[in-house]
Structure 1
Amino acid sequence: MAMKLPEILIAIVAGLTATPLLAAQESAPACHVGAYALADGSILDIGNAPDGKLRWRRTDGRTGLLTPGEGGDWRSTLGWTDRPDGNDVSFGACGDAAIDLHGVTGRRIDFDVRETRFASGDATLGGRLVLPRGGGKVPIIILVHGSEHDSARDFYALQRLFPAVGIGAFVYDKRGTGASGGRYTQDYLVLAEDAIAAARAARRLAGDRAGRIGYQAGSQGGWVAPLAAKIEPVDFVIVGFGLAVSPLDEEREAIAEGIRLGGYGPDVVAKALDFAEASIAILSSNFTAGFDRLEAARARYKDEPWFRFVRGDVTHVFLQTPEAELRARGPALFAGIPLHHDPMPILRNLAVPQLWALAADDLDAPSGETSRRLRQLIADGRPISLAVFPRTEHGIFEYEPGPDGERLSTRQPETYFRMMADFVRQGRIADDYPQVDIARPRGDGSQRK
């Protein structure tokens, strides 16, 4: 599942369509969106953000939200905090491709961009191939989405960041979102078939320029991309903050992790798992039953000091949303999700080289059991590289506590994007990723294990 609270609540309020998000995006000055080469030799991406704002990102993981200010300037705040960071931006007029980041000038990078529509099963999907300029072969990464409902073509920055460092990218809207037809689903087999169709479309569009082709998938995509690669092999798979356990076990682990981080032991974890089982009953019934179990658990434990640490991946949303709303919206929001999906048979038999990047402090998709399973697969000789980033949460984001105790994402680790690019280019990760806990497959040639 691996859906963060804002994603779920937005989907519920929006009636499970992408329209409100797209409307917000359309009010932003789209002419400024792009990757820019700055005079200091660095790369800056400017992407869409909700509510008519923009977001800047760097390849070293730094990011900020840009809000329109006076005189055409855009004021920057750090990460997802409200704290000014001094990285204010000004743009030239639409069409002249100029940018100024706090005194450092730059120009938008031109890419070869090809829009396409391609068939997958009963749906026609909207996609985009973005290649660095030139005539030579380049590796191409297929961006496989998670559980979100908004348009990947509108919001994924990696479609520009990878081409800015010489790697092609193919981005497509998940079925039922953005420019893609079909009905929204979380059926991993259907989504894997869509990913396969996207890879075929990318190879066809790239023609002689297509080099190595593989998947990059985040969160729920971690169940989809390996399945797609098993059905139709590619050259590599990158999974970020995904899981090697079932969606149901994810909920149990997420509940337990939240209680443990609150400072409580196994006895309290055992009690808190009543909430996980109630949520599982709701999901398993397709939102027709189980609500009484959730309310019984709430009544029993709501006055306990540990109740505020009951989170889970979806349980905290179920606790905050009226039953009638969940009954009405839940079936579409979680349409087709294979709750008992076991990814291990696929991973045990997948010969495609994989990079798994996990967040050590992930509350939405706890990484502990997944890390243990992946290390065992590595010991068994599977072609997996594992990187666990310390002090990061879901999305591989560093964070700080907010005023209400909730985490506020600040940036991604400095080496995260570089590690992915290394793996795409070389088929293995390099040796110099300080502080990252890494496990490598046999015979990868590295000097560090």
Structure 2
Amino acid sequence: MVSHYSRRSVLMTAGLVLKLFVIVLVGGGAASGQQASTAEAISAERLAGNYQLPNRTVIGIDSFAGGSGPPVPLFTDYTTGIIRTLFPLGGDRFVMGPGFGVQSPVERTVRVVRDTAGAVIGIGLQRSGEDEVVASRLPSTVREITFTNEDATLAGTLITPPTPGPHPAIVLLHGSGPLTRHSFGPYPRFFASLGLAVLIYDKRGAGASTGTFFPRTAFYPEPYLRDAVAAVKFLKARDDINGGQIGLWGTSEGGMLTTQVAAVENVAFAINSSGFMMPLWEQVLYNIEAQLSADGFAATEVADAVRFETMALEVMRTGSRWDEYEGAQAAALQTKWWSAYFGSSKGFSSLEGIRWQWEHIYRFDPLPALRTVTCPVLGLFGALDTSTPAQQTARNMENVLRAAGHRDVTIKIFEQANHPLMDARTGGNAEIPTLARMAPGVFDTIRVWLSSRITPAP
């Protein structure tokens, strides 16, 4: 059985919305040919952690939820880049298949190892016909935390090394949509494996966080920017954190946001993973064409969608051609590409609504703030990305920073990587469940780059 995936919009506002990548995992159950236990499976949160194999290779299990269901365990080998959802057999046993979201045929069985008191101290990994290999759990401290910004109380988790510190730290910033602390894939435990304290939190209005997700009077991305600044300030106030070595990592919307935070708050570094670096309306036009093409739509259908979106952007910007737009929207709603790209949205019902979209969201341009960033910057992009145009984004990012006199800028494009930097074939969403690993070099690039810019506490 293959789990199903879909995308979410960057903002859950009425009408047409920007579509960026979010994995949503649905389903579960025992893999084909495996006998499920009646015992309840251990939760992803309790299993999450880093584990060391006898050969000293470190692997991670993160608590991951891209949709509305409970988090599932996500297995990652930081050396090979292998990334797999763990599907429960019940109790303390799981299986992983040959792809990220594929359950069968079973590739490995995973057994939870406990001490006499019932605490998780390791995991056993076994391939068919081979001996089990046990990985020992590495110590860490996990705390539930809250911090505030304006109308929101942000709830999150702080993962720290077991030593007193003070530790270098990193704040992880979400992709688009009302996401929680469980939306970061393999990265929370990966960064923890490098000796950093890691702060993850539920986005405003999502999970256990309060506040309005996107206030009607707000201008994108201000609410998320101010929340992220509050997260950095929260860490700076802690005795166990080295306030001079707090950095940022983000993916998609969060990748863009790292640069905006770094422009207004003193941070040690910013890592932009697949975040757009151009006016938002330009990214929208690229996204609709690249996404539909990668998902197999005919060239005529793609051209039709691009023409429609171009008209929509003109109406948003100028307020003209509304009557013509209403007719075009009615026709577009009947097409296959509409539901594939916009989902269940019924479009705009008023000129006021479409104009609001431009004034409050689509006119945003991240480049002016980027010019003022002075901290070290790492940009990571995938050449097969259908949401963010890798070449243009990398060029804009480097040109703006270099022109401003910035000298510590590193940009890397992974030729076979998609939006979440997985080793891909087309970059389309439909293939994601079958993908087997992160693009070669992603984890190593981050590890090496950070090693010369932070110093873990002894």
- Amino acid in structure 1 at the alignment position of 2:113: G
For residues 314-365 of structure 1, the C-alpha deviation after alignment (integer angstroms, 9 at most, x for no partner) is: x8432x42628999xx99xx99962111111112222222111011111122
For residues 294-326 of structure 1, the C-alpha deviation after alignment (integer angstroms, 9 at most, x for no partner) is: 343577xx6xxxxx8x68xxx8432x4262899
1:273 aligns with 2:274: no
The 8 Å contact of residues 96 and 102 in structure 2, kept in 1 or not, is answered as no
- The aligned counterpart of 2:341 is 317
Distance 1:390 1:114, change over 3 A: same
Alignment partner for residue 135 of structure 1, among 161, 164, 167?
164
1:87 aligns with 2:116: no
Q: Could you tell me how far 1:281 is from its partner in structure 2? A: 6.9
The 8 Å contact of residues 278 and 294 in structure 1, kept in 2 or not, is answered as no
Any residues of structure 2 matched to 1:39-50 within 5 Å, and which? 39-50=54-65
Instruction: Give distance in 2, aligned partners of 1:105 and 1:344.
Output: 48
Instruction: Give distance in 2, aligned partners of 1:326 and 1:69.
Output: 48
The 8 Å contact of residues 247 and 270 in structure 2, kept in 1 or not, is answered as yes
Alignment partner for residue 414 of structure 1, among 410, 415, 440?
440
Any residues of structure 2 matched to 1:352-431 within 5 Å, and which? 352-377=375-400, 379-380=402-403, 381-382=405-406, 383-400=408-425, 406-408=431-433, 409-427=435-453
1:38 aligns with 2:59: no
- The aligned counterpart of 1:348 is 371
Instruction: Give distance in 1, aligned partners of 2:137 and 2:349.
Output: 44
SS of 2:176's partner is coil
Alignment partner for residue 195 of structure 2, among 150, 155, 166?
166
Instruction: Give distance in 2, aligned partners of 1:282 and 1:62.
Output: 45
Structure with the larger helix share:
1
The 8 Å contact of residues 140 and 213 in structure 1, kept in 2 or not, is answered as yes
Instruction: Give distance in 2, aligned partners of 1:208 and 1:259.
Output: 45
- Amino acid in structure 2 at the alignment position of 1:397: M
Instruction: Give distance in 1, aligned partners of 2:279 and 2:148.
Output: 29
The 8 Å contact of residues 171 and 247 in structure 2, kept in 1 or not, is answered as yes
- The aligned counterpart of 2:16 is none
For residues 100-142 of structure 1, the C-alpha deviation after alignment (integer angstroms, 9 at most, x for no partner) is: 0122202222213333211112211113322212234432111
Instruction: Give distance in 2, aligned partners of 1:326 and 1:415.
Output: 46
- The aligned counterpart of 2:21 is none
The 8 Å contact of residues 22 and 150 in structure 1, kept in 2 or not, is answered as no
Instruction: Give distance in 2, aligned partners of 1:134 and 1:207.
Output: 9
Q: Could you tell me how far 1:37 is from its partner in structure 2? A: 2.0
Instruction: Give distance in 2, aligned partners of 1:249 and 1:416.
Output: 27
- State the number of aligned residues: 399
Instruction: Give distance in 2, aligned partners of 1:72 and 1:114.
Output: 24
What is the TM-score with the length of structure 1 in the denominator? 0.75
Alignment partner for residue 88 of structure 2, among 41, 60, 68?
68
The 8 Å contact of residues 54 and 135 in structure 2, kept in 1 or not, is answered as yes
Instruction: Give distance in 1, aligned partners of 2:85 and 2:25.
Output: 16
1:56 aligns with 2:75: yes
Alignment partner for residue 267 of structure 2, among 234, 249, 252?
234
Q: Could you tell me how far 1:400 is from its partner in structure 2? A: 4.3
Q: Could you tell me how far 1:187 is from its partner in structure 2? A: 3.0
For residues 351-396 of structure 1, the C-alpha deviation after alignment (integer angstroms, 9 at most, x for no partner) is: 2221110111111222232122124235534342101011111111
- Amino acid in structure 1 at the alignment position of 2:73: L
SS of 2:263's partner is helix
The 8 Å contact of residues 205 and 213 in structure 2, kept in 1 or not, is answered as yes
Identity %: 23
Consecutive unaligned residues of structure 1, counting only runs of 5 or more, are 13-19, 303-307, 429-449
SS of 1:242's partner is coil
SS of 1:106's partner is strand
Distance 1:57 1:336, change over 3 A: farther
Instruction: Give distance in 2, aligned partners of 1:184 and 1:34.
Output: 30
The 8 Å contact of residues 169 and 241 in structure 2, kept in 1 or not, is answered as no
1:192 aligns with 2:225: yes
Instruction: Give distance in 2, aligned partners of 1:267 and 1:106.
Output: 52
SS of 1:133's partner is coil
Instruction: Give distance in 1, aligned partners of 2:142 and 2:25.
Output: 24
Any residues of structure 2 matched to 1:99-178 within 5 Å, and which? 99-102=123-126, 103-153=132-182, 157-178=186-207
The 8 Å contact of residues 139 and 424 in structure 1, kept in 2 or not, is answered as no
SS of 2:361's partner is coil
Q: Could you tell me how far 1:174 is from its partner in structure 2? A: 1.0
Instruction: Give distance in 1, aligned partners of 2:181 and 2:85.
Output: 18
For residues 383-435 of structure 1, the C-alpha deviation after alignment (integer angstroms, 9 at most, x for no partner) is: 4210101111111111246999645433212321232233333139xxxxxxx
What's the C-alpha RMSD, in Å, of the aligned pairs? Answer: 4.1
SS of 2:169's partner is strand
- Amino acid in structure 1 at the alignment position of 2:46: C
- The aligned counterpart of 1:441 is none
Consecutive unaligned residues of structure 2, counting only runs of 5 or more, are 14-23, 29-39, 127-131
Greater Cα shift, 348-357 or 373-382:
373-382
The 8 Å contact of residues 159 and 192 in structure 2, kept in 1 or not, is answered as yes
- Amino acid in structure 1 at the alignment position of 2:74: R
- The aligned counterpart of 1:293 is 328
Instruction: Give distance in 2, aligned partners of 1:272 and 1:158.
Output: 34
